[in-house]
Amino acid sequence: MEIRIGASWPAALQDPSESRTFKPRSSGLTMVIDKGLGPQAFADMLATSAPFIDFVKIGFGTSPLYPIPLLQEKINSARQADIAVFPGGTLLEAAVRLNVEGKFFETVLDLGFDGVEVSDGTIELSRKKRDQLIREATQLGLRVFTEYGKKATGSRVVLDDLRRTAETDLQCGAELVTVEARESGLGVGLFDESGGCREDELRSLVNKLPFAKNLMWEAPRKNQQVDLLMILGSDANLGNIPPHEAIPLETLRRGLRSDTFALHRSISDYVI
């Protein structure tokens, strides 16, 4: 069969939701978590999925375990694809606990990371210290993504606490506030022990938070992504997405998967 030059899919099939925008985006952001991809796997991810990924987080404290040249290669190749890269917040928590946060920031800059994640999912961080870390990072020219919530199983989202935390983080210079769900999505934050979304809780949160567009929801599981997109819309910011799930998530955003067909905007009724 002859391959026709210039072949393309109908525009309506490329994005039935009529909602997706090109990078740099201000909404509908996708953050992928890298827990140890090798150079070929990382390159494959970029080759197939780069247009659909806005951030790559080098998960938890894995960054110091890579050979420096390999880590820099990952950062540089992602940046060439217009993807920002930052180390997981657990690494900064470890730096605070060990009193080496100054050296942490220095190394982050030397390696070429775009930003940092400020969190207190494992340690206790005073509001004063959290403010200091956010301001120091922004003054160094780093993008700051903060995280709300604890990693312990059973931790829940508390509306007033989230509101206060997010408002202050954003005032200090944070770009996005991520709602914790860990990489498992089980029994933490919005999700119950089986990974199900507490939908009523989610609706209550977004209805009462004036800055919901500045929130990113960790949602590593497909059912969680579906629930969030159907409630919040295609432009919900979603994080902790496994690398191999970047394209499947994009099909959910666009209504190119049965689970989110209702996101189609052009047609209200389907006749077969």
Of 251, 249, 247, 248, the C-alpha closest to 261 is 251
**pLDDT at residue number 2:** 67
Domains of the chain (ranges; CATH) run 20-263 (3.20.20.70)
Backbone angles phi, psi at 210, to 5 degrees: -70, -15
Residues 6+ positions from 197 with CB-CB distance below 8 Å: 190, 191, 223, 224, 227, 228
Tokens found for residue 100: 């080496």
Q: What is the pLDDT of residue 266?
A: 63
Which pLDDT score, from 0 to 100, does residue 3 have? 67
What is the C-alpha separation between 36 and 42, in angstroms, rounded? 9
Cross-sheet strand order for the sheet of 30-34: 84-87, 55-58, 30-34, 238-241, 215-218, 176-179, 143-148, 115-118
Instruction: For 100-155, write each residue's pLDDT tens digit.
Output: 999 999 999 999 999 999 999 899 999 999 999 999 999 999 999 999 988 777 78
pLDDT at 256: 96
For position 151, what pLDDT does the model report?
A: 78
According to the model, what pLDDT value does residue 101 have? Answer: 96
Distance CA 90, CA 87 (A): 8
Cα separation, 192 vs 185, in Å, equals: 8
What is the mean pLDDT for each group of 10 consecutive residues in the chain (272 residues)? Answer: 78 92 94 97 98 97 97 98 97 97 98 97 94 98 94 82 93 95 80 87 86 91 94 94 97 96 70 49
pTM of the model: 0.92
In percent, the amount of the chain with pLDDT more than 90 equals: 74
